[in-house]
Structure 1
Amino acid sequence: MKITHVEVHRIDVPAADPPFHWRHGLSGSAPVGDGAVLHIGTDEGAEGVALFARPGAAVTLRELVDRVFREELLGADPLRREWLWHRVWELDRIHELPLPTLGLIDTALWDLAARASGVPVWQLLGGFREAIPAYASTSTFATTEEFLDVADQCLALGYHGIKLHAWGDARRDAALCQALRAHVGPDVPLMYDGSAGFDLPDAILLGRALAEADYLWYEEPMREFSVSAYRQLAERVDVPLLVAETSDGAHMNSADFIRAGAATFGVRAGTTLRGGITGAMRTAHLADAYRLRAEVHGSDIPNHHLCMAISNTTYYESLVTATTVVRERHVDDRGLVRAPTGPGIALPLDFGYPAALERFVEQPR
């Protein structure tokens, strides 16, 4: 089997309704959903796709395919995913690829292989579970009262825990986190994500408040450029740290956080920022060797499969972005996410990309 065409299709990803925002200093939801589908096809009819949904996604991805990826992929065996994963990292050495693009080829090739085998990707990966509890991962709301009301709604809908994305003010966020613990009681798992908003002194201040409130994990309080800063944070706070979400290098960089003693809860795994499915699985196995967690980041479809394949992940992350909460369609009334059943990754058609992708006919350029 050989790869015969590598194409990019611009798609319209529906904008969030209502719009939402993150902490102070970060942009929120995009007003127009700009995305792209990477499509890889073969001489035997096997094909796979990967979705890239970021501002300017189609322009970025088409330029990378035309300039870098197509020449590398045409004529290659699509089942040699390990080889091609290494080739992408070799190309990154020269081209400095955007972090979310490093795993797109890998994800599409896993989709292709699983479709060709007639099984879901999570089964091709070996499979660990058929259901996993979901936690509600909030966007940033205006007031403490809104956060508490959203938490009540989420728990009533069956979610198994709450993770806060707050304002990026260490003292205000600390007060919110402690107010939420007092509101929901001692038994609800709570987590906090700083979205890299703090320096070390403020990260310590907030981390101590989270420890007092018995939070399950403390996620990305600082930019992940300095492993030594995270090591110092781990030495000064008792709340467990979940790290290595946006740092480059997939499992290689995650290993440095672990070796430094900075990953006291675990590390992030996911297709979008850790080098696709292959990078995520390497990260998970690395963490497991140290008896740490590899928490899957994000609620897109490929990460749905990862949740079923990775033994040392705890929850499915389900984004909640409105003050009137509607359960994500993958989450049932018991707060569980069930394993996908269709072959491949099975990206849903309601993203809006052409139905022609189900039967690709365009010739390579």
Structure 2
Amino acid sequence: MRITGYRTLTTVQQWGRPVGDANGVLPHGTTTVSIVIVETDEGISGVGLGPHVEIESIFEAIDGEDPRAVTTLYDRMLRQTFKAGHAGLAFGTIGALDTALWDIKAQAAGEPLWRLLGGRDRHVPAYASGLDIALSDDELVAEYETYAGYGLRAAKLKGGLDVERDRQRLALVRDVLTEAGHGRRPGLMLDVNEAWSRKQAVRHVCELERTLDLAWIEEPVRRWDAEGLAAVGRGVRAAVATGENLTGLEQYRPLISAGAVDIVQMAAVWGVTHFLRVAALAHAHDLPVSPIGNIPVGLLHAATSVPNHLVSELQDLRPPIGLRVDLHIEDGAFVLGDTPGLGVRVDEAAIVAAGHRPGSPSADSPNVRPERAGLRLLAEADHTMPELRVESLLTNSVAVRQDAASVRP
């Protein structure tokens, strides 16, 4: 079997509501999903979900190769980007191609990827994550009642702009999940998408912890700030979760060495081989791992085969336009199917008919870091829908109004 080519597509996830976090909000509730399809001379095609930046150059490393040599080809792709570097979107392209190769390998073996990788149990524990900072109280309760109906008993909320607002929203979701769990205490997490300084993080979380039990605080400071993440971890009771934006073992190593991370996260967009390698590194330090992503299907399959998987993120309950995925949600877990490979099928006609054309992120997008992020002493949010505005009291006591933003959905 030989790799003969690739195709790229872009579809959309339609959330049906505003989505966002402390960095920005998308009031239209539509996010893009990039797709890479790798083709072979035996008619088997593999699907990878992720960007296709610099794909022509990166694909040269695997063109004409046997796709079943996945991990070797992964390293060839890393070497292909040696001079310019493999971080950022280029790493996402490598991840998309890598996931597609794993899909091909499992299809060729006639097995679902979770079984090919050595998994025994197709059930992958999940937590609810609604990208929900722009929702009103009633909308928030309704959203998490839906998640609770699928048996989810843990939830991660977006926040970090207003401590009292965060307390109120976390308490609302706590009550929803407690009632659904017949009094059982739920897991609560808060994700602030690198919006804080070190001291602000400790102050904010400690205030919340006076009345709430947080399982983890996610990305409280910048992703690479090993010293700062460690300082936050020492100052709060909650675990520190981070890693979704780190690309390669070399970026995890200083955080783990500094004791800066308690929950090691990996984004689905970076690929299966990356997840497996980081999971092994984390396991060597007795740390649990948790996949992140809208449809982290590749990492869900891989999670069944590692000993330190904790829980995986469940965002939207519906797949993007034109994608069918052989899994379902039951009793608070992803349940993977028996379709050979990833179990992802692409309806290209449906994607073309949707007519989406990707554009550049706007200044109030969750993907654009706000100018004053990490520089607020206090923040009070005006929760008028559909636009979320933030009024920040800065160090010079001048109030500045700016669009609040949410992290990358």
Same fold flag (TM > 0.5): yes
Distance 1:222 1:293, change over 3 A: same
Aligned to 2:157: 164
Match for residue 74 of structure 2 among 85, 96, 101: 85
Aligned counterparts of 1:29 and 1:109: Cα–Cα separation in 2: 36
Aligned counterparts of 1:157 and 1:241: Cα–Cα separation in 2: 27
Aligned to 1:122: 114
The alignment-based identity, stated in percent, is 24
What SS is found at the alignment partner of 1:103?
helix
The answer for unaligned runs of 5 or more in structure 2 is 319-324, 353-409
AA paired with 1:93? F
Tell me how far 1:313 sits from its aligned partner: 1.8
Distance 1:36 1:134, change over 3 A: closer
Tell me how far 1:163 sits from its aligned partner: 1.2
Aligned to 2:334: 337
Distance 1:76 1:331, change over 3 A: closer
Aligned counterparts of 1:49 and 1:154: Cα–Cα separation in 2: 28
Distance 1:30 1:113, change over 3 A: farther
Match for residue 199 of structure 2 among 191, 198, 201: 201
Give the alignment's Cα RMSD to 1 decimal: 2.9
Cα pair 1:210 1:218 within 8 Å, conserved: no
Cα deviation, 1:83-114, whole Å, max 9, x if unaligned, reads 22122222333234514223112111111111
Aligned to 2:64: 75
Aligned to 1:271: 268
Cα pair 1:270 1:306 within 8 Å, conserved: no
Tell me how far 1:170 sits from its aligned partner: 4.3
Aligned to 1:131: 123
Tell me how far 1:285 sits from its aligned partner: 1.5
Tell me how far 1:167 sits from its aligned partner: 5.7
Aligned to 1:154: 147
AA paired with 2:337? P
Tell me how far 1:145 sits from its aligned partner: 4.8
1:308-319 map, 5 Å: 308-319=304-315
What SS is found at the alignment partner of 1:159?
coil
Aligned counterparts of 2:18 and 2:259: Cα–Cα separation in 1: 35
Tell me how far 1:196 sits from its aligned partner: 1.7
User: Does 2:234 match 1:222?
Assistant: no
Aligned to 1:248: 247
Distance 1:160 1:22, change over 3 A: same
Cα pair 2:15 2:316 within 8 Å, conserved: no
Cα pair 2:120 2:305 within 8 Å, conserved: yes
Cα deviation, 1:101-148, whole Å, max 9, x if unaligned, reads 231121111111111100111111111422133221122233345434
What is the TM-score normalised by the length of structure 1? 0.80
Match for residue 289 of structure 2 among 287, 291, 294: 294
Structure 1 or 2: larger strand share?
2
Cα pair 1:173 1:206 within 8 Å, conserved: no
User: Does 2:276 match 1:281?
Assistant: yes
Structure 1 or 2: larger helix share?
1
The answer for unaligned runs of 5 or more in structure 1 is 323-327, 355-365
Aligned counterparts of 1:33 and 1:204: Cα–Cα separation in 2: 32
Cα pair 2:129 2:155 within 8 Å, conserved: yes
Aligned to 1:2: 2
What SS is found at the alignment partner of 1:108?
helix
Distance 1:226 1:219, change over 3 A: same
Tell me how far 1:320 sits from its aligned partner: 4.8
Tell me how far 1:284 sits from its aligned partner: 1.1
Aligned to 2:235: 236
AA paired with 1:89? L
User: Does 2:295 match 1:303?
Assistant: no
Distance 1:150 1:65, change over 3 A: closer
